[in-house]
Amino acid sequence: MNELDIISKYWFFNPDPKLQNNLMAFGFECGKGWYSLIDELCGKIERLIDEKYPSFKTDEDFRFEVLQVKEKYATLRFYVSTAPEEIFDLIDEYERMSANICENCGTSPAKIINKNGWYVTRCENCVKKLEKI
C-alpha cells in the first residue's frame, strides 16, 4: 500500500494545495515503513468515529481532519483538527509504537539511533546499511 492509497481510502484526508487548512499537500513526511502503521491507525479512527462519534464526520464546526503526518525525533507525529479524547489517546499509542518499527522498511523490532545528529528509527538491517554510507 502506498501513500496515495491511504490518503484516498479515508474521508478525513483532504490535502489543501494552498496550505491554508492543512499540510497534507506534502503527503506523509515519513518513511514508507510506517505506512501500514498509519493505515491501521486510520482504520481504527474511522471505526471509532462511525460507531461512537458520528458528529465528528458531519458537524462542520467539529469535523475531524488530519492536518499533517510526519516523523519528528524518530517517531510518528499525527496531527488532527479536533477529536474526542479517545482518538487522541489512540494517536498517542501509535506514535509510541512507531519507536519500535523501522521507518525505512517496517520491520519490528527497531530502535532509535543517532545518525550524524539526526534521530532515526531503524531495524538492525537498515542500521547496517546506514553504517555503509
Residue-wise pLDDT tens digits, 54-73: 999 999 888 999 999 999 99
Long-range interactions of 51-57: CB distance < 8 A, separation 24+: 52/84, 52/86, 53/83, 53/84, 53/87, 56/82, 56/83, 56/84, 57/11
78-122 pLDDT, tens digit each: 999 999 999 999 999 999 999 999 999 999 999 999 988 999 999
pLDDT at 121: 97
What is this structure's pTM?
Answer: 0.94
Q: What is the pLDDT of residues 1-54, one digit of tens each?
A: 899 999 999 999 999 999 999 999 999 999 999 999 999 999 999 999 999 999
